[in-house]
Amino acid sequence: MAQGTKIAEKDVLFNSMSAMIAREYVASDTQPVFEGLYRIPVSATGNTDIDVDRNIEVVDAWCAKVGGAGAGGDTVTVQNEGNAITNAMSVNIADTAVVRAGQINDANYQIASGGTLRIAAAGADATVDCVCYVKVLFYTS
């Protein structure tokens, strides 16, 4: 993907059950929460942005290396706009290896509807070649 890529949420969101419909089936003092998983291919350095259309909380993230071993300085960070949610995950790893976020920043992990979930890729060369998975919770308020 070219630097500054924008992906429509509908292209990466597979769990489309509406929390508004589910709200009818839970007690009035609880909030329905659904798990979802974004699958985001990253080939080049730069930002890949997803405009979210509902409130989400990022609860986990990991990257699977594809296309050969990584180079020195290759990293991927999950962000809320430009604010880091995860630590910079090093993708200077062997092909097919997986790296997981070592931290989730509780000051930035919630993204309001209309906000931007960003995958920021950096590296010594222009290629990063990995598939990022970001596990989120969807909620209604």
Cβ atoms of 52 and 118 within 8 Å: the answer is no
- Asked: is 5-139 a CATH 2.60.120 domain? The reply is yes
- The mean pLDDT value for 91-95 works out to 94
Task: Give the model's pLDDT for residue 140.
Answer: 65
Task: Give the model's pLDDT for residue 141.
Answer: 60
pLDDT one-digit tens code per residue, 8-40: 555 554 444 444 444 444 555 566 678 899 999
- Whether 121 shows a pLDDT value over 80: the answer reads yes
Spatial separation of the C-alpha atoms in residues 126 and 118, rounded to whole Å: 18
Q: State the pTM of this model.
A: 0.78
Pick from 40, 31, 52: which is nearest to 111 by CA? 52
Structure tokens at 110: 């919630």
Spatial separation of the C-alpha atoms in residues 71 and 78, rounded to whole Å: 19
